[in-house]
Amino acid sequence: MMTRDDRVNAKRMMAVALAGCALVMASAGVASAQDPAQKLQGNSVGVMAGYDFDREFPLLGLDGRFTFAVAPQVAISVNPALSYFFTGSSEFLGARSETTLLQFDVNALAHLALDAVVTPYLGGGLAIIYVDSRVLNSNDEVIASEDDTAVAGNLLVGATFDTGSELVPYLQGRLTFDEESVFSVMVGLNYGF
């Protein structure tokens, strides 16, 4: 279980990584004879798995990336994603509580095309978070139920890895913030088409 200090340190590391990526991307305006960003153009869809360090839930999801070059070394992706969190259930005095937690994201990612195996990116966007909580008795009858939908912001930092094929693995950190901030780390594998 992460302590509050561990979460604060993880968020600080994410902020430093975002600042570093921003600095590198700001220096990416140098034109070359070949446009590395053109190699990133295209569409991809795939799956991801990860862990939410603040809520302490594993997650699985779907990820899409629709990428186009905007400069010789910069490509932009429109990135819709859906995450399902494995919240588990708990029992107390014969009653069981269950929670469904979903997060739908629409992000914009800016990729720094270095013409290398690793392509770093940073991004931001919006998250729609849906929570449905139920309390059930021992006969699985619903005693109480409540749901909520909230809109939050996202900050992302990550890297894709060129495998020389249509399969594109990636590693990504996501900070989702509204009243609280939540940090998740994800690995994914997308198929380009």
The tens digit of pLDDT for each residue in 128-185 reads 999 999 999 888 888 899 999 999 999 999 999 999 999 999 999 999 998 889 999 9
What predicted TM-score, i.e. pTM, was given to this entire model?
Answer: 0.78
d(C-alpha 27, C-alpha 16), whole Å: 17
Residue 169: Cβ-neighbour burial (10 angstroms; 0-12, 13-18, 19+): middle
Tokens of 153: 């912001």
Give the containing element (helix H, strand E) for 120: strand 118-136
d(CA 187, CA 170): 6
Q: What kind of architecture, by CATH, is found in domain 4-192?
A: Beta Barrel (2.40)
